[in-house]
Structure 1
Amino acid sequence: MDEKASMSPAQRILKLIGLLTVAGLVVSLLAGAWLLGRFGADTPVVYKDDVDHFKYGSLGSEHEFGVPYWIWRALPELFADKLPGKGLESLGFVFEKGKVLPAGMSQRRYLGFDLVWLNCAICHTGTVRESSQSEPKVYAAMPANTFDFRAFTRFLFAAGEDRRFTPRDILRQINVIRRREGLRDLALIDRLVFRFYAIYYMRERLLTLRDRLNFIQEEPEWGPGRVDTFNPLKAYFNFPPEKLSKQERVGTTDFPSIWNQGQRETLKMNLHWDGNNVSLEERNRSAAMGTGITPPTGDRPSLKRVADWLRDLAAPPYPFKIDKDLAAQGAPIYKKYCAECHGADGKDFRGEYAGKVVPIDEIGTDRHRMDSYTYDVAVNQNMIFAGYGDERFSHFRKTFGYANSPLDGLWLRAPYLRNGSVPTLRDLLEPSAKRPKIFYRGYDVYDQKKIGFVGDVAEEKGKKFFLFDTDETKEPGNSNKGHEGKRFGTELSAAEKDALVEYLKTF
């Protein structure tokens, strides 16, 4: 008699239940493994080349602010009417050939989706053209001379406010793009998550961020290559914007260059425009927070890789012709008027006052960035990374001037002064009364004679550039005064100024 025939009905039912239970467990385990593999991964796109890693590698900002890749692709097409021109290029994003994402944007697989957001290169990668017919050359670690950060945020907030920011419209636009590129529609699970969660969640996050940063709308326009560094941080600290003093409400400043960080660290130079920190590591992590990382979400190995690379990264040499004889005439002029504050030359940063903070009354430049960083901000900033051992910030402080900076790669750091209010080096050597009152920012064609970017072009091929007005009564924070008088070289003869500018091309 076989086993099946000898089993009672109750036994057969119990056996069936057992088999179904085992099958259910197997299916559950397989489903769990699939879900874990799909939604549990935290994997950034990795680049072997350090330059590519700097421009496109993830620092971890996607954990907190990541936008699903296909939603990111859809936004500039669906909301093209919210952009100042054609595509994200109209906001000054730098796109290299063969790349879908711009420099300064990274990608990471997280929570089951390819997410994208910002890294350090968004503020520290720019372009230069020899002429209007030339192809742009991309330089890593220079100030992002074309990128308009505020216009970018304005675009995102305007998209979030628009009635088309719906699953139906965004998914439809994604399908248009994918079919154009020969791809199938999104997978069912992607469509379901987008339709019932991700798009609604993203819109809510955008509108919440808009409301928290709404006080920025009262500030003068930033324009390309500039950002208000620390007032958004006050929103992070939940400072009531209506209680901010009038003098601290405008903190707009130029993006800095970030080459040769190791020598700055060795010489214990004061960092940031106002010299509010001497710790390179703290400065780096603080800057990375500007891309969207937080203490628990930052990718430590990736941050370290970028920091290590920047320690020894030399500034790119001036690529155009240099009159060596004229430059030789400028060398002693530099030594007499500039070296003690800005270093021996573009490679040796040693100088009696190099890296030191100069009181605002001595330098005489626009004080808004200095005033925007308050004692209360420093106290709160030193609490960041509390609970993370040695990572806790402890060196931030309030200063009352601006730090003397080395001049490596000076040719790429235009416009000049802390707020970018002087278009060229030659203009900087004139008294403020003779400096340009207005000029255009965001144009990347280079002025080889005066050293800086051409500032009298309002529009090219439909792209409009930003008119910068130095009248502080109209645009607080834009004054081009200061860094003038005999000690600053503005009383030199025209020939001496030309020689000094030629020498500075060698930095």
Structure 2
Amino acid sequence: MIAGIAGFLGLAAATDAIMSRRQAVEQAGPPKVLDQGWSDGMRELFYYTSQGSQLLPYVFLRALEQPLSDKPFLDPAHIAELGFLPADKPSQLNPDGLPIGFVKDPRPAGTMGPMVGMTCAACHTADIEANGVRIRIDGGAAAADYQLFMKRLSRALDNTLADPAKFQRFAGRLVGVDPKQVRPALEATAAEIRRLEAASWTPVPYGRGRLDAFGHILNAVVADALGEPANFRMPDAPVSYPFLWTTPAQRYVQWNGVAGNPLGRNLGEVLGVFGHTSFANGNPAAFSSSALADNLVALEDWVADLKPPPWPEKELGKVDAAKAKRGAELFKANCAGCHGGPEYRFTPAADTEGGRQWLAVSMVDIAKVKTDPKMLTNFTGRFARPGLLGPLVANAPHLSDGQVPAGAALLAAVTVITENSLRAQGITGDARKQWYGWRFAPGSSTPQSGWLTPASYKAGPLAGVWATGPFLHNGSVPTIYDLLSPEDERPARFYVGSKQLDTQKLGFVSSPDSLPEKEREGLFLFDTNLAGNSNRGHSFPDPSVAKLSPDDRYAIIEYLKILEGPDVRRH
């Protein structure tokens, strides 16, 4: 306990030190947009369509100042320092210029009006830089620092309450709000954000581009919504934000493959990023959430049109065709067995209603891939008191004290909430199946489930992977070259947070000495020796049999720049 408090105080001190600095943001015009299959209008819809996340009152976030200055919390330089992307410009869907992935909920909520929350785009949109050019990667892995964001937000709210001048400026920006209601509402908001920030603390910080998504989702459902605080577990198994292209066509998604249908997966995701759940005193027919199911279906459909980002030769350099040809042979021999390739494997037509086929992504047993197991063990080994969900998980395995697998409780809750939402909107028959993404076995009315045993990590398709470092599920390897190297040659410590692409090794520049001085502040030191951060495993080919030479690794890298994605719409 004392060690935990000391770690917390140490993190707070480090955060205060970071707060005293400001990293300049130089955004000369909009980024270059690659051909990923989206129009400008589709991109805006993805950025600014609410999924039902509700973090705090919209007017509060707009009026809030930074913790230690009178500058707006939403100042683009501050937002960029937290790893999120400032808006390129105000737009019809985003008239107030909120950061990408932040959006006003369309429903009124309380005396302070609508809430503001996050969309998928907050964590799945990235900018990369090379040769002085900024390039937008839609569906890519964001560099957002979730824990730092929550720390700053909590500190900003608390400081506004404590500083009379700060509070007066804040209240003066709230147009049309009863002044008598401001402080009580702000106190309630600050208390909730303080709770969320404390619940996100871990002894090993996530850093840039990582989040323990399942840890937060499970806590939100089986601890907070159930009113069972004993079910809370520290969310200490962060994983990298995965890229989104091809995911609507994959048979299994999530790093552990436990999501088998898109609607249930996306609804659960909302609950992990500030969605709210009501279990209505144990009446399943009245279970509900703040998730907007119709918008989630639309978001999934938009992402189905998203293509992997093509390698932009003009900006990043011409691909060596001869080297890439040799890399294609090496990829087929060493990588395609798990990750697939141009001849992508699809599920049998007989497995799904209507003969629909999905990308047959490989689920690789942890005993084979041997990467850090913490994310898997945290999920499969987590049990919870079912509380009001007891009748819905009666057939699940029970421990002697009545606890059930937390994942089973989550699945039960999400299933009932989803069905209630569909029923309330009159979505039945084929329309219901369409909302579930047609993930049904022939003749079944129950959506297909995800992968459960043995404990495995997903080996998804790699088209566009060049723009998505760091690598492995926990972001523990900075470049693809390092990933293709023997374990003992991989960096044990490196920095994350740079947007500068390493075009030779494929990844982001991870050494401060290789960056301009103005870009060195705000970097996060990733230590692979800490719990959950191991860079071991994924040693293919088997090093006891053969090793990839440096030339082999660079050949595979050259091929990965041009690796084409599957034609998912054809299936």
Q: What range is the shorter-chain TM-score in?
A: 0.7 to 0.9
Q: What is the CA deviation profile of residues 162-205 of structure 1, one whole-angstrom value per residue up to 9, with x for unaligned ones?
A: 36357863441464xxxxxxxxx654x32x1xx33355334324
What residue in structure 1 maps to residue 406 of structure 2?
A: 377
Q: What is the CA deviation profile of residues 7-63 of structure 1, one whole-angstrom value per residue up to 9, with x for unaligned ones?
A: xxxxxxxxxxxxxxxxxxxxxxxxxxxxxxxxxxxxxxxx9811101112222224x
State whether structure 2 residue 418 is matched by structure 1 residue 395.
no
What residue in structure 1 maps to residue 130 of structure 2?
A: 130
Give me the whole-angstrom Cα distance separating, in 1, the residues matched to 2:232 and 2:292.
Answer: 33
Trace 1:170-209 onto structure 2 (pairs within 5 A).
170-173=167-170, 175=172, 186-187=174-175, 189-190=176-177, 192=178, 195-209=179-193
What residue in structure 2 maps to residue 423 of structure 1?
A: 478
AA in 2 matched with 1:73: R
Give me the whole-angstrom Cα distance separating, in 2, the residues matched to 1:142 and 1:68.
Answer: 26
Moved more, 450-459 or 480-489: 480-489
Larger Rg: 1
Q: What is the CA deviation profile of residues 375-401 of structure 1, one whole-angstrom value per residue up to 9, with x for unaligned ones?
A: 622111112241542769883564412
State whether structure 2 residue 337 is matched by structure 1 residue 279.
no
Trace 1:413-492 onto structure 2 (pairs within 5 A).
413-457=468-512, 460-461=518-519, 463-471=521-529, 475-487=530-542, 491-492=547-548
What residue in structure 2 maps to residue 117 of structure 1?
A: 117
Q: Secondary structure at the match of 1:139?
A: strand
What residue in structure 2 maps to residue 306 of structure 1?
A: 299
State whether structure 2 residue 161 is matched by structure 1 residue 164.
yes
Q: What is the CA deviation profile of residues 200-223 of structure 1, one whole-angstrom value per residue up to 9, with x for unaligned ones?
A: 334324423533663542331001
Give me the whole-angstrom Cα distance separating, in 1, the residues matched to 2:69 and 2:134.
Answer: 24
Q: Secondary structure at the match of 1:287?
A: helix
Cα distance change of structure 1 residues 204 and 377 upon mapping to structure 2, 3 Å threshold: same
Cα distance change of structure 1 residues 161 and 169 upon mapping to structure 2, 3 Å threshold: closer
Give me the whole-angstrom Cα distance separating, in 2, the residues matched to 1:122 and 1:379.
Answer: 28
State whether structure 2 residue 125 is matched by structure 1 residue 139.
no
Cα distance change of structure 1 residues 501 and 338 upon mapping to structure 2, 3 Å threshold: same
Give me the whole-angstrom Cα distance separating, in 1, the residues matched to 2:345 and 2:190.
Answer: 43
Query: CA contact under 8 A between 1:355 and 1:403: conserved in structure 2?
Result: yes
Give me the whole-angstrom Cα distance separating, in 2, the residues matched to 1:159 and 1:394.
Answer: 44
What residue in structure 1 maps to residue 61 of structure 2?
A: 72
Moved more, 164-173 or 85-94: 164-173
What residue in structure 2 maps to residue 255 of structure 1?
A: 241
Cα distance change of structure 1 residues 412 and 278 upon mapping to structure 2, 3 Å threshold: same
Of 44, 47, 59 in structure 2, the residue corresponding to residue 52 of structure 1 is 44
What residue in structure 1 maps to residue 368 of structure 2?
A: 362
Give me the whole-angstrom Cα distance separating, in 2, the residues matched to 1:402 and 1:480.
Answer: 14
AA in 2 matched with 1:377: A
Query: CA contact under 8 A between 1:108 and 1:114: conserved in structure 2?
Result: yes
Give me the whole-angstrom Cα distance separating, in 1, the residues matched to 2:137 and 2:215.
Answer: 28
Query: CA contact under 8 A between 2:47 and 2:119: conserved in structure 1?
Result: yes
Of 404, 410, 428 in structure 1, the residue corresponding to residue 459 of structure 2 is 404
AA in 2 matched with 1:258: L
Query: CA contact under 8 A between 2:52 and 2:291: conserved in structure 1?
Result: yes
Query: CA contact under 8 A between 1:431 and 1:490: conserved in structure 2?
Result: no
Cα distance change of structure 1 residues 115 and 48 upon mapping to structure 2, 3 Å threshold: farther
Cα distance change of structure 1 residues 262 and 394 upon mapping to structure 2, 3 Å threshold: closer
What residue in structure 2 maps to residue 32 of structure 1?
A: none
What residue in structure 1 maps to residue 436 of structure 2?
A: none
Q: Secondary structure at the match of 2:103?
A: strand
What residue in structure 2 maps to residue 15 of structure 1?
A: none
Cα distance change of structure 1 residues 383 and 334 upon mapping to structure 2, 3 Å threshold: same
Of 210, 217, 240 in structure 2, the residue corresponding to residue 226 of structure 1 is 210
Give me the whole-angstrom Cα distance separating, in 1, the residues matched to 2:329 and 2:452.
Answer: 36
State whether structure 2 residue 560 is matched by structure 1 residue 504.
yes
State whether structure 2 residue 97 is matched by structure 1 residue 97.
no
Give me the whole-angstrom Cα distance separating, in 2, the residues matched to 1:454 and 1:130.
Answer: 10
Q: What is the CA deviation profile of residues 54-74 of structure 1, one whole-angstrom value per residue up to 9, with x for unaligned ones?
A: 112222224xx34223x2133
CA shift at 1:364, angstroms?
Answer: 0.6
CA shift at 1:421, angstroms?
Answer: 0.4
Give me the whole-angstrom Cα distance separating, in 1, the residues matched to 2:484 and 2:472.
Answer: 11
Q: Secondary structure at the match of 2:539?
A: coil
Query: CA contact under 8 A between 1:263 and 1:349: conserved in structure 2?
Result: no
| Identical aligned residues as a percent | 27
- Measured on the aligned residues, the alpha-carbon RMSD in Å equals 3.2
Give me the whole-angstrom Cα distance separating, in 1, the residues matched to 2:484 and 2:50.
Answer: 41
Give me the whole-angstrom Cα distance separating, in 2, the residues matched to 1:490 and 1:506.
Answer: 26
Give me the whole-angstrom Cα distance separating, in 2, the residues matched to 1:232 and 1:88.
Answer: 22
Give me the whole-angstrom Cα distance separating, in 1, the residues matched to 2:162 and 2:340.
Answer: 52
CA shift at 1:123, angstroms?
Answer: 0.8
Give me the whole-angstrom Cα distance separating, in 2, the residues matched to 1:148 and 1:81.
Answer: 22
